[in-house]
Structure 1
Amino acid sequence: MTITAADMALYTAALFALFLTPGPVWVALIARTLSGGFSAAWPLAVGVVVGDVLWPLLAILGVTWIVSVYADFMHVLRIVASVTFIVMGALIVRHASRTIGSDSRLTRPGMWAGFLAGVAVILGNPKAILFYMGVLPGLFDLTRLTGPDIAAICFASLFVPLTGNLILAWFFGRARALLTSPTAVRRINRIAGGLLIAVGCAIPFV
């Protein structure tokens, strides 16, 4: 392996920070938890793993070439991600009174439906795209990575968010009765929307 324990520790910390930032996966996970409890949410968390492994692989295999050809690619990606976060946050705040479980595409019952929802939400997650395509190449020299290095990065990319998502689903499952009240939902939506807007505003300066 060419990457050190310190490199992996820094990457793991970055993954944890990524997990703590509210985004589409949180919305989907909370929606399924509130609609069907932990048993409805864990298949979604497993589905998210598909993207959490796919995105770092794409970053390792493709970003170096893309940046070498299109020098402004990362700058454009930052702007797109920033605008996306701000719009998402504004929409959540605007519809703060809407119950989280009202989107039937996220709350459709069944393990397979939950898994597919997880795959869809992570593949279209701008937060994940920005992180893996923007931050990952800055943490490692992608041109020197070996097979074991790539395996270690993919495992960390899988393990950290999966563990966090399962804990999150368990927590919201326990608090399900409280969080389904209109007042609590409105407050959570406003806070989540505000955080998304804040992240979107901060991205261009990171």
Structure 2
Amino acid sequence: MTITLTDAALYAGALFILFLTPGPVWVALIARAMSGGFHAAWPLALGVVVGDVIWPLVAVLGVTWIVSVFDGFMIALRWIACLMFLGMGWLIIRNRDATIATDSRLTRPGMWAGFMAGVVVILGNPKAILFYMGVLPGFFDLSLLTWPDIAAICFLSMIVPLLGNLVLARFVGQARQLLTSPEALRRTNVTAGILLIAVGLVIPFT
């Protein structure tokens, strides 16, 4: 493997910060947990895993091919990753009071319905691959990655959100208060935004 423990830890930390940012997965997970408990929510978390593995894999392979064709592409992508984190952090802070809407189609009862809801949530957003294409080069030199490196990246991309989603589903009562309290949502978004900006500032020096 060519990636270091420091690289992996920084990437895992960034994934965890992104998990803390409320979004469609949070909404669907909490809605299912509130309607059917943990039993109804964990299949959705497993469905999300599908996209959490596919998107980074596609991004790594796609960017690696681009790098093999265009010299200097890695340097450009590193700064793109930096700007993406700074921009995401600023937008979250700017919209710190915005609430999130839910979709009843994602809360249908049944384990299979929950699993497919997770797949739909994560694969139904084409911006995910653009995110990974912009972010991964900020943490790893994709031109040097081996298959064990790619497997490790996909594993981190899968396990960090999965553990977070399972814990969120287990403590859905507390999560419900977090989303329904405007002040708590504001504090969460401000904190997540600041942390994302911090990651963006660190990337150029790693």
TM normalised by structure 2 equals 0.71
Equivalences for residues 180-191 of structure 1 within 5 A: 187-188=180-181
How far apart are the structure 1 equivalents of 2:17 and 2:196?
14
Correspondent of 2:99 among 92, 96, 99: 92
Q: Residue 17 of structure 1 corresponds to which residue in structure 2? A: 17
Equivalences for residues 166-205 of structure 1 within 5 A: 166-172=166-172, 175=173, 179=176, 187-188=180-181, 192=185
Q: Residue 60 of structure 1 corresponds to which residue in structure 2? A: 60
What's the offset of the Cα at 1:187?
3.1
Q: Residue 29 of structure 2 corresponds to which residue in structure 1? A: 29
Say if 2:63 and 2:133, in contact at 8 Å, map to a contact too.
yes
Amino acid at match of 2:5: A
What's the offset of the Cα at 1:189?
6.4
Q: Residue 156 of structure 2 corresponds to which residue in structure 1? A: 156
Q: Look up the SS of the partner of 1:109 in the other structure.
A: coil
1:61-92 Cα offsets, whole Å, 9 max, x none, are: 113528959979x59x95xx86x979x97873
What's the offset of the Cα at 1:190?
7.3
Say if 1:23 and 1:196, in contact at 8 Å, map to a contact too.
no
What's the offset of the Cα at 1:9?
1.5
Amino acid at match of 2:23: G
Say if 1:40 and 1:109, in contact at 8 Å, map to a contact too.
yes
How far apart are the structure 1 equivalents of 2:35 and 2:109?
9
Amino acid at match of 2:180: R
Amino acid at match of 1:133: M
Say if 2:17 and 2:195, in contact at 8 Å, map to a contact too.
no
Q: Residue 39 of structure 2 corresponds to which residue in structure 1? A: 39
Deviates more, 1:56-65 or 1:31-40: 56-65
User: CA RMSD for the aligned pairs?
Assistant: 3.9
Equivalences for residues 93-172 of structure 1 within 5 A: 103-125=103-125, 128-129=128-129, 131-172=131-172
Alpha-carbon spacing, 1:199–1:17, altered in 2? closer, same or farther (3 Å): closer
Alpha-carbon spacing, 1:201–1:167, altered in 2? closer, same or farther (3 Å): closer
Alpha-carbon spacing, 1:199–1:159, altered in 2? closer, same or farther (3 Å): closer
Alpha-carbon spacing, 1:160–1:105, altered in 2? closer, same or farther (3 Å): same
Say if 2:58 and 2:129, in contact at 8 Å, map to a contact too.
no
Say if 1:59 and 1:137, in contact at 8 Å, map to a contact too.
no
Percent sequence identity is 61
Amino acid at match of 2:99: I
